Structure 1
Amino acid sequence: MSFADRLAALAQRAPSLIDHLATEEATKNALVMPFIAALGYDVFNPQEVVPELTADVGVKKGEKVDYAIKQDGEVIVLIECKTAGVNLSEANMSQLFRYFTVTKARIAILTNGVYYRFYSDLEEPNKMDSRPFLELDLLDLREHHVAEVMKLAKGSFDLDRMLDAASELKYLRELHKVLADQFEDPDSDLVRFLYLKVNPDGRFVASVREQFSTLVPKAFQQFISERVSGRLRTALAQEDVVAGRKQEEPAADNEAEDEERGAETETTAEEIEGFHIVKAIVREVVDADRIAHRDTKSYMGILLDDNNRKPICRLHFNWTQKYLGLLDADKNETRHELKTIDDIYQFSDQLKETARRYDS
């Protein structure tokens, strides 16, 4: 299971847990430790994850940071935790700030188990920045945020790459805030700039300022709405094309075409596991040697007698969410969501019925 899958599973559980996490320890156990584990670190191995790391600061002794992630014996990430539901205040941030200065870590995380703020020392070496370069909300996961957090994962951690990304993310985050403010209430300089762009010879007098201060937000809204609508139309059109192709494929019986499709794909271990589960189910009604599979870019087809006119089912495992595609007598497909590959067993009766139909 990928980091994105593990994080999505944790995010799915989080809403039902939050109200029951009344202490910091409960938050750590239910949300923070699974988050660290999702990154690929062994939370029970002190060579990788150190709980309650001592980080004495000056005359303050016994200061401890909740978790420290280590690589090759060096601390690379600090994590300070608060109780779920608690706002991540500046006071909490200043506590992490003190820890940051006495370790070699270049990445620090402040979290309440649901909301994660990521800091570095981009502005001054060995001094944690006052503003995070990235924020992650488990209740509002966004694909580009997940992709950036994944750079901290055990198998792909690269400090230089992470710091380069952090620098870019920091400015992108601030630009987003500026653009959001300007979108709602553009300042006079922006209004003037845009007015002169559309009317280079005009004079930016008070009456024009008043008129364009209303027009600019409307133009922003219409521009974004048109872009979103255009992308939706494109996406829907592509889905229609793909759906049309998939409806045609069961009736195809061109082995050369199938081989060409198969040459462009990579059969995964999960697909093979799914095939063997289907085979174990269907062998109760037909000989196991008659059950075959063919892989395409979009799905793995499981066939009787290796005949594309006899599809038993389809395994759609190429995306984060996995589906089992069942086909009726007219070869119309219905997809069923799978939480785990073993969920295929829930459809044993339908799979056996399909195999019997072809065999009769």
Structure 2
Amino acid sequence: MEFSDRLNALATKVQNQKSAIQTEEATKNAFIMPFISSILGYDVFNPLEVVPEFTADVGLKKGEKIDYAILRDGEVQILLECKASVGNLKFEHASQLFRYFAVTNARIAVLTNGEVYQFFTDLDRPNRMDEKPFLVLDLSDIDESIVPELRKLTKENFDLDSVISAAEELKYVGAIKRAIGEQFKEPTDDWVRFFTTRVYEGAFTQKVREQFSTLVAKAGKQYLSDQVNDRLKTALGATGYTPAPVSESATAVASEPIAEKDLDRDTEVDTTLEELEGYQIVKAIACSEVKPPRIVHRDAKSYFAILLDDNNRKPIARLHFNGLKQKYLGLFDDAKVETKHPLESLDDIYRHANAIREAVRRYRG
């Protein structure tokens, strides 16, 4: 299995199981040990590679332990401190990492809750761990641009010098991207003022701020949607295939078998960010069975199709989101008869992970 496939498979596992994980030990066993072994490629049962409960005396503190130390040629290279998956990560959680970083040869320190992995080094001051990570891996929303850098920390491709040399750019580019993302989700007053003063000539009063807070947020989302649509139109020629009728019932509804012949694609479709998010969830699930490039999508006026090998004879799922109060996930049986399952939120797609994988297995060859 390719590196990206393994990463997507672990991401799917985390999403499927994180609600059942309540303790730090359970997080280590279910998520972090698989990350060390299947993603980074180190043998968690070989003490020459991975040392759990690693101990080193730090000043007056004796016998302190850090969760994992990864060794190469007998030298500590990577330190990992783990927290339970139920909580968000804070720098205060990294206090032991901070101390250990200064007394070992490690140049990489990782703080994780099994879903988010924050990678630190010593860019600001030599042998002193930075307060901000240079790389953040979020398994709920994998940033594909950091995957090549993550691969450099694997046992097979370990290249510490390359990682360190790229760390400063990664640190600030990543931080800027996250800051921009936060502004699109919930614009601050400064962000709202920045755009308002460029399109509105009046005084920036409290009333204007309240009015433009909504407008700036709406414009940002529409801009992102337009960019996605433009890329899709370029890549796919704005094509999809004939829509199927959608039931408004809140219970699973069976429809007719899909046609076996290629269908004409719609020329007027509006692909939404919500559809693309749903597609990414289905793709993450399906990638446990096939390589990611084989999972593709076609949008149509009434539904968003997810296919294997861009072949409408190999339907994996359909997203029925357009203009509906009740959203549905369409899944297919052996006869290619679609059943629509109501969704309260996108996370409900994970409940149908087994059916999605079974659909892929039927076609993959």
TM-score, with structure 1 as normaliser:
0.60
Q: Describe the shift of the 1:175–1:243 C-alpha distance in structure 2 as closer, same or farther (beyond 3 A).
A: closer
Question: Aligned with 2:293: secondary structure?
Answer: coil
Question: Aligned with 1:319: secondary structure?
Answer: helix
For 1:334, the aligned partner's letter is: K
Question: Aligned with 2:137: secondary structure?
Answer: strand
Aligned residue among 226, 230, 235 for 1:233: 230
C-alpha separation in 2, matches of 1:221 and 1:151: 39
The residue aligned with 1:28 is 28
Deviates more, 1:182-191 or 1:221-230: 182-191
The residue aligned with 2:142 is 141
C-alpha separation in 2, matches of 1:344 and 1:190: 49
Contact 2:134 2:170 in 1 (8 A): yes
The residue aligned with 1:12 is 12
Contact 1:27 1:84 in 2 (8 A): yes
Aligned residue among 313, 318, 329 for 1:333: 313
Contact 2:316 2:359 in 1 (8 A): no
Question: Aligned with 1:140: secondary structure?
Answer: coil
Which protein has greater RCO, CA pairs closer than 8 Å, 6+ apart? 2
Given the alignment of the two structures, is residue 319 of structure 1 paired with residue 322 of structure 2, yes or no?
Answer: no
C-alpha separation in 2, matches of 1:325 and 1:89: 42
Larger Rg: 1
Q: Describe the shift of the 1:320–1:216 C-alpha distance in structure 2 as closer, same or farther (beyond 3 A).
A: same
Q: Describe the shift of the 1:19–1:62 C-alpha distance in structure 2 as closer, same or farther (beyond 3 A).
A: same
Residues 61-80 of structure 1 correspond to what in structure 2 (within 5 A)?
61-80=62-81
C-alpha separation in 1, matches of 2:224 and 2:161: 35
Cα RMSD after superposing both structures: 4.1
Contact 2:308 2:360 in 1 (8 A): no
Residues 256-295 of structure 1 correspond to what in structure 2 (within 5 A)?
none
C-alpha separation in 2, matches of 1:44 and 1:235: 46
C-alpha separation in 1, matches of 2:114 and 2:172: 25
How far apart are 1:108 and its partner, in Å? 0.5
Q: Describe the shift of the 1:190–1:163 C-alpha distance in structure 2 as closer, same or farther (beyond 3 A).
A: farther
C-alpha separation in 1, matches of 2:52 and 2:76: 12
Question: Aligned with 2:314: secondary structure?
Answer: strand
C-alpha separation in 2, matches of 1:57 and 1:346: 52
The residue aligned with 2:116 is 115
| Greater helix share, structure number | 1
Contact 2:116 2:137 in 1 (8 A): yes
Question: Aligned with 2:99: secondary structure?
Answer: helix
Q: Any stretches of 5+ residues in structure 2 without a counterpart?
A: 242-260, 263-289, 297-306, 318-352
The residue aligned with 2:286 is none
Q: Deviations over 1:177-208 (max 9, x none)?
A: 5545766235399749975xx99xxxx9xx45
Q: Describe the shift of the 1:186–1:165 C-alpha distance in structure 2 as closer, same or farther (beyond 3 A).
A: farther
The residue aligned with 1:58 is 59
C-alpha separation in 2, matches of 1:154 and 1:35: 12
C-alpha separation in 1, matches of 2:30 and 2:135: 23
How far apart are 1:170 and its partner, in Å? 1.5
Paired positions, count: 266
The residue aligned with 1:263 is none
C-alpha separation in 2, matches of 1:208 and 1:106: 51
Identity value in percent: 42
Given the alignment of the two structures, is residue 151 of structure 1 paired with residue 156 of structure 2, yes or no?
Answer: no
C-alpha separation in 2, matches of 1:46 and 1:335: 46
